[in-house]
């Protein structure tokens, strides 16, 4: 049943949009064989000759389609700028339809870019990351008497830590829902699990701060550790 709905929708898109290609992404694309009947939703990219990126989320007789209409020039820009969110998604995709070999050439290039790894941070950006994380930790620490604000800022800080971990180690930043599963550092995973497993209303803020500090040190120690001060000079405008 779902297979028929899937095939029908793909045919409709081909007929209406005349795309360069249609790409399946997400968990379904990572399966060795397509098992549409087991899918809860279908995530696809439609590469088109249009001026702007569009998105459509629809339900077709119980099967949800999340469709991204990406202009070809935006796909090219994503490759040139090495945009992590696009590279990570399309590097593990499957082609459902292509009008010519252009799409295959682009996807092959994206897979090569993905395998090369993300940008290597220079000393300036490494130091900025160390300083920013240190300041963020101190901000969380200063709010330890305000429980709600402390918990809120702690959650933001952990995500900031993980994003920085990927950047520092030249790893593509994955989508949020796959972030924890993408970490190969077993010790880091254990530390995060330990933080959340003991994260209840009776856990003292100082205990949580100790765990956060341990995670912080684990992430940035290989790159010079915490950085409390910043000498006068160039600095990213990060106030937005």
For residue 32, the model assigns a pLDDT of 65
4-8-10-14 Cα dihedral, nearest 10 degrees = 160
pLDDT at residue 224 greater than cutoff 90: yes
Arithmetic mean of pLDDT, 136-144: 96
The tokens for 115 are 């395998």
The pTM assigned to this predicted structure is 0.81
For 44-66, write each residue's pLDDT tens digit. 999 998 779 999 999 988 889 99
Closest alpha carbon to 51 in 71, 21, 22, 79: 71
**Pair 74, 60: CB distance under 8 Å:** no
Name the E strands within the chain: 21-25, 41-48, 54-60, 63-71, 94-98
Note the pLDDT tens digit of each residue in 178-217. 899 999 999 999 999 999 986 665 568 889 999 999 999 9
Structure tokens at 7: 């095939």
What average pLDDT does this structure show over 9-35?
A: 87
| Percent of the chain surpassing pLDDT 70 | 95
């Amino acid at each position: 049943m779902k297979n028929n709905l899937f095939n029908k929708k793909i045919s409709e898109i081909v007929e209406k949009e005349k795309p360069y290609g249609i790409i399946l992404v997400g968990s379904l694309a990572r399966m060795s064989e397509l098992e549409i009947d087991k899918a809860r939703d279908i995530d696809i990219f439609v590469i088109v000759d249009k001026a702007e990126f569009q998105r459509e989320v629809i339900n077709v007789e119980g099967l949800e389609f999340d469709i991204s209409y990406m202009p070809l020039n935006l796909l090219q820009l994503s490759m040139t700028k090495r945009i992590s969110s696009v590279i990570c998604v399309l590097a593990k995709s499957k082609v459902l339809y292509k009008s010519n070999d252009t799409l295959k050439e682009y996807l092959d290039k994206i897979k090569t870019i993905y395998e090369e790894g993300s940008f290597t941070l220079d000393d300036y950006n490494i130091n900025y990351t160390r300083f920013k994380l240190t300041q963020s930790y101190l901000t969380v620490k200063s709010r330890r008497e305000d429980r709600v604000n402390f918990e809120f800022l702690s959650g933001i800080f952990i995500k900031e830590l993980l994003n920085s971990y990927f950047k520092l180690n030249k790893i593509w930043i994955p989508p949020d829902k796959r972030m924890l599963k993408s970490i190969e550092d077993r010790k880091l995973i254990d530390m995060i699990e330990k933080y959340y497993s003991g994260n209840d209303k009776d856990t003292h803020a100082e205990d949580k701060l100790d765990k956060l500090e341990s995670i912080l040190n684990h992430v940035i120690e290989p790159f010079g550790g915490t950085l409390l001060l910043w000498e006068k000079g160039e600095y990213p405008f990060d106030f937005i």
